[in-house]
Amino acid sequence: MVIKKSGLLLLILISFSCNRASENKEEKDLDKRSSTVVKKRDDGTLSSVNQVDEIGRVHGVRVTYFADGKTIYTKLTFDHGKKHGPSIRYYNNGQIYEHASFEYGEKHGLTKKYYKNGKLLAEFEYNQGIAMVGLKEYDKEGELINSYPTVEFKEVNHMASHNRIDLELNCTKKYNGTKYFLLESDQGKESRTYLITEKGSAIIQFYLKPGEFLSKKIEIMAEFPTELGNVYAKRYTYHLTARNNK
């Protein structure tokens, strides 16, 4: 009888140990499958918290924090690794700096920016990552800003030597980062071709055969970076007429 009791006790201990090991394994597996990722800095302060999908891509709201680990810096919404939905950035006093939205990785829709005191700084729209015409910026007193650069067009005739006429685009202010795009329509769809710039200028070249006449409407979109960190987009139409008299 004593031997049987000892055997029974040993069997119970083995069973308990196996069950405990199984529970530990299940806990580890749950940790691996956890959909929440928490990151901390070397000093232990909270850096970010976000959800992930089944293959580890950010999915849902991702919250990041300032160096104190408590004050929220950003709240960004993701869809399987791509920004999609509301995107909010904050000042370190808790006031919203920017409220924007994204559509599958591209800035899309209305964006509003604010000063640290809560007053409106700017409002503008993007369409699939492209800045739209209509930027409104305000100074700290709430007055609408109206002073922006513009584009000047200049025709340079090279017919005599190269059967070519150049259309130069120049900004009235030498802004670093000014971009020019040639706009073209095909079956109702508009495309943009980036024009390479050199020292703030861009050139479009047109070749004409001897005796050929050109009459063309040219559509341009210019993007100027503003002093408040936004993009001022403006559309221009230029009518070019030229003849190669050779």
Does the structure show a pLDDT above 70 at 29?
no
Residue 94: inside a domain, yes or no?
A: yes
Same domain for 120 and 173? no
Residue 15: inside a domain, yes or no?
A: no
- The string over 109-131, giving b where at least 16 C-beta atoms fall within 10 Å of a residue's C-beta and e elsewhere, is eebebbbeeeeebbbbbbeeebb
Q: What is the CATH number of the domain that holds 74?
A: 2.20.110.10
Same domain for 41 and 133? yes
Confidence class of residue 206 from pLDDT cuts 50, 70 and 90? very high
The top-scoring range by mean pLDDT among 29-33, 81-85, 158-162 is 81-85
> CA torsion sign, 202 to 223 to 140 to 75?
negative
Q: Which of these three, 137, 169, 190, is where a domain ends?
A: 137
Domain that holds residue 217: 151-243
Same domain for 112 and 184? no
Residue 217: inside a domain, yes or no?
A: yes
DSSP E strands: which ranges in 115-230? 120-127, 130-131, 136-137, 151-158, 164-171, 179-186, 189-195, 197-198, 201-207, 213-225
User: Looking up tokens 């999915």, which residue turns up?
Assistant: 59
Whether the CB-CB separation of 153 and 219 falls below 8 Å is answered with no
Between 32 and 210, whose confidence is greater?
Answer: 210
Note the pLDDT of residue 187. Answer: 84
Amino acid at 72: I
- The string over 73-88, giving b where at least 16 C-beta atoms fall within 10 Å of a residue's C-beta and e elsewhere, is bbbbbbbeeebbeebb
Residue 213: inside a domain, yes or no?
A: yes
Global pTM reads 0.79
100-121 average pLDDT score: 97
Q: Which of these three, 137, 160, 188, is where a domain ends?
A: 137
Same domain for 97 and 166? no
Q: pLDDT tens, 117-136? A: 999 999 999 999 999 999 99
Residue 211: inside a domain, yes or no?
A: yes
Between 113 and 32, whose confidence is greater?
Answer: 113
